[in-house]
């Protein structure tokens, strides 16, 4: 499949499978002009989806909360994701499912309920949110001054594209020559960063914020690993000052897994290298992938054709 | 021109003029996947742009604040807007200019600075944000429970597509059988609604919020009209409770002008009809349009071709 028209990525838009280069949406789609859209991203590792059912569960919850209902049901969406990956021939991939408000069926309507909701999906070659070399030395994480949008205004558990505050934090980080950023809320509690959850380790105990954050699937995986490894872990309020005392910091996301940090703000952590508990969680996360943890094999095109 | 391929709208994307139906952006554009995009909208009334220079000024400020720099300079953008309108043959139009972060030049980069920024523009037939019949009876405006995103997290003076809180307010309004909504911030101060500024009239004095709001060009026009008509007006903090005592309420936006309300929350204003000061401002706003106020004639295609 490597030389096929789908080698750079395969997409499903307007009910058809197309090469990623042809996957577009109208500039007047409310998914763009109002960012009225929800999405989810699942990864494929060596030919198998990781926690596909959990991602589909969250995508369905996001759609329900925003009242976006594309015509495809869950079984259809799942089949579309399989087919996108199979078309590319990729064994490691990043697979997005997107539900957009679309455009009004009634010309000139400004009512969300009048819109024709639609599904977009695509599979792309694997992309790490933090480059591999940065992961190896540990990410340098800036503490942004931009406050995270409050949960009451935009529900962070509904995975959305409204990244303005996160992008502002990222620009601050790059200006200061850091790799990425974490944001605090206006009350001074730690939240998340652009595309990842954040974890602290202090005296062998692992914590992650209970607010301003996506309920990450990788976050859930980390919490499960902590239980399995006998590491105490909690989801709780984390004041910004806790960053001044953390022994280790790591980031967690679908597009990268467990990614240790070596610097947070002006602090250098440990030996300016990834810490031992972060590395143990990272290694276990990938070792269990190899063992088939939460794995759903990608169905071959032939199998799909028979459905 | 009416039967041309541009009759439904003309757009400029990727450096080319196309019918609006062909105006698309990639599903992987960060303008979509991170809502990393700024825009502005100017209207054309009887063949003339209204306050074009003011809209271009604000668009340039929005781009600068988000560090989005498409290759087209101001003169080029202005020429593109003229040409979009001229191609449609429309005399009344709604004209959008959009600057998107685009996609990374370096595959896999997650850095905004690595992206190829690009301009989108389009002209569409005039759309009122509130239908004409609703404008005539006065809009029924719901007071949403969703708090407006704070200015510190997302600068509301940078015109953006991140409408999640505004859409939530709109859904609340439609559930309660209202036409539209206004939002207050978490501190209980009035801000704006989905696509418009809001004004109160009390004892002959006109006020509009100083926070959580776009610095609307129509808002500015209203304030100028107040000066001209000898009506006292101010931009100031407006507590939610002021809505309990307002004599009149009206909305202001490019896509509709001055739009009186007749109900706000559970209150019926005056005789359940647009109030006298609102109507005087609305009538003056349109009368002055007819007189050529702040008007820039749309250049004909022939003139454009000669540039």
| Alpha carbon of A95: minimum distance to chain B alpha carbons (Å) | 12
Q: What is A4-127's CATH number?
A: 3.30.470.10
Q: What is the pLDDT of residue B131?
A: 81
Q: CA-based diameter of chain A, in Å? A: 62
Chain B residues with CB-CB distance to A98 below 8 A? 27
Q: How far is CA A152 from CA A14, B20, B169, B191, in A?
A: 33, 36, 12, 16
Residues β-bridged to residue B38: B99
Q: Among all residues of chain A, which has the CA nearest to that of B178?
A: A111
Q: Among all residues of chain B, which has the CA nearest to that of A165?
A: B153
Q: What is the pLDDT of residue B107?
A: 81
Instruction: Give, rounded to a whole angstrom, the gap between the first and last alpha carbons of chain A.
Output: 21
Q: What is the pLDDT of residue B1?
A: 46
* Contact between B35 and A153 using a beta-carbon 8 Å cutoff: no
Q: Among all residues of chain B, which has the CA nearest to that of A129?
A: B110
Name the residue facing A170 among B112, B161, B174 (closest C-beta).
B112
Instruction: Give the predicted TM-score (pTM) of the model.
Output: 0.96
Q: Name the fold adopted by A132-290.
A: D-amino Acid Aminotransferase; Chain A, domain 2 (3.20.10)
Q: What is the pLDDT of residue A303?
A: 60
Quick count: other Cβ atoms within 10 Å of Cβ A228? 10
Distance from C-alpha of A59 to C-alpha of A61, rounded to nearest angstrom = 5
Q: Which residues of chain B have pLDDT under 50?
A: 1, 305-307
Residue pLDDT tens, chain A, 307 long: 455 899 999 999 999 999 999 999 999 999 999 999 999 999 999 999 999 999 999 999 999 999 999 999 999 999 999 999 999 999 999 999 999 999 999 888 899 999 999 999 999 999 777 788 888 999 999 999 999 999 999 999 999 999 999 999 999 999 999 999 999 999 999 999 999 999 999 999 999 999 999 999 999 999 999 999 999 999 999 999 999 999 999 999 998 999 999 999 999 999 999 999 999 999 999 999 999 999 999 999 976 544 4
A217-265 confidence digits (pLDDT tens): 999 999 999 999 999 999 999 999 999 999 999 999 998 999 999 999 9
The 3-state secondary structure of chain A reads CCCCCCCCCEEEECCEEEEHHHCEEECCCHHHHCCCEEEEEEEEECCEEECHHHHHHHHHHHHHHHCCCCCCCHHHHHHHHHHHHHHHCCCCEEEEEEEEEEEECCCCCCCHHHEEEEEEEEEEECCCCCCHHHHHHCEEEEECCCCCCCCCCCCCCCCCCCCHHHHHHHHHHHHCCCCEEECECCCCEECEECCEEEEEEECCEEEEECCCCCCCHHHHHHHHHHHHHCCCEEEECCEHHHHHCCCEEEEEECCCEEEEEEEECCEECCCCCCCHHHHHHHHHHHHHHHCCCCEEECCCHHHHHCC
Domain ranges in chain A with CATH number 3.30.470.10 = 4-127
B39-67 confidence digits (pLDDT tens): 999 999 999 999 999 999 999 999 999 99
| Rg, C-alpha atoms of chain A | 20
Per-position b or e across B186-201, b if 16+ CB within 10 A of its CB:
eeebbbbbbbbbbbbb
Quick count: other Cβ atoms within 10 Å of Cβ A22? 14
| Alpha carbon of B227: minimum distance to chain A alpha carbons (Å) | 32
Q: What is the pLDDT of residue A128?
A: 74
Q: What is the pLDDT of residue A131?
A: 81
Q: What is the pLDDT of residue A307?
A: 43
Question: Is the ipTM reported for this complex over the cut 0.90?
Answer: yes
Name the residue facing A153 among B35, B131, B148 (closest C-beta).
B148
């Amino acid at each position: 499949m490597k030389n096929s028209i789908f080698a750079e990525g395969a997409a499903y838009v307007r009910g058809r499978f197309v090469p990623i280069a042809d996957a577009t949406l109208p500039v007047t789609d409310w998914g763009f002009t109002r960012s009225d859209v929800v999405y989810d991203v699942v990864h494929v590792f060596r030919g198998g989806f990781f926690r596909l059912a959990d991602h589909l569960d969250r995508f369905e919850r996001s759609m329900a909360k925003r009242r976006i209902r594309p015509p495809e049901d869950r079984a259809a969406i799942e089949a579309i994701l399989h087919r996108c990956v199979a078309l590319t021939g990729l064994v490691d991939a990043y697979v997005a499912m997107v539900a957009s408000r679309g455009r009004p069926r009634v010309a000139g309507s400004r009512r969300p309920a009048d819109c024709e909701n639609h599904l977009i999906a695509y599979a792309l070659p694997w992309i790490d949110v933090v480059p591999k070399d940065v992961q190896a030395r540990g990410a340098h994480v800036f503490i942004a001054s931009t406050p995270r949008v409050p949960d009451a205004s935009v529900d962070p558990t509904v995975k959305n594209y409204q990244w303005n505050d996160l992008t502002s934090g990222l620009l601050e980080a790059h200006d200061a020559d850091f790799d990425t950023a974490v944001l605090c809320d206006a009350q001074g509690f730690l939240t998340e960063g652009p595309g990842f959850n954040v974890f602290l380790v202090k005296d062998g105990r692992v914590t992650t914020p209970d607010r301003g954050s996506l309920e990450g699937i990788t976050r859930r995986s980390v919490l499960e690993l902590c239980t399995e490894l006998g590491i105490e872990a909690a989801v709780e309020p984390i004041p910004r000052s806790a960053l001044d005392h953390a022994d280790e910091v790591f980031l967690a996301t679908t597009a990268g897994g467990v990614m240790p940090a070596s610097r947070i703000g002006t602090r250098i952590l440990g030996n300016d290298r990834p810490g031992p508990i972060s590395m143990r969680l990272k290694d276990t996360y990938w070792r269990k992938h190899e063992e088939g943890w939460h794995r759903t094999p990608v169905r071959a095109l032939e199998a799909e054709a028979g459905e």
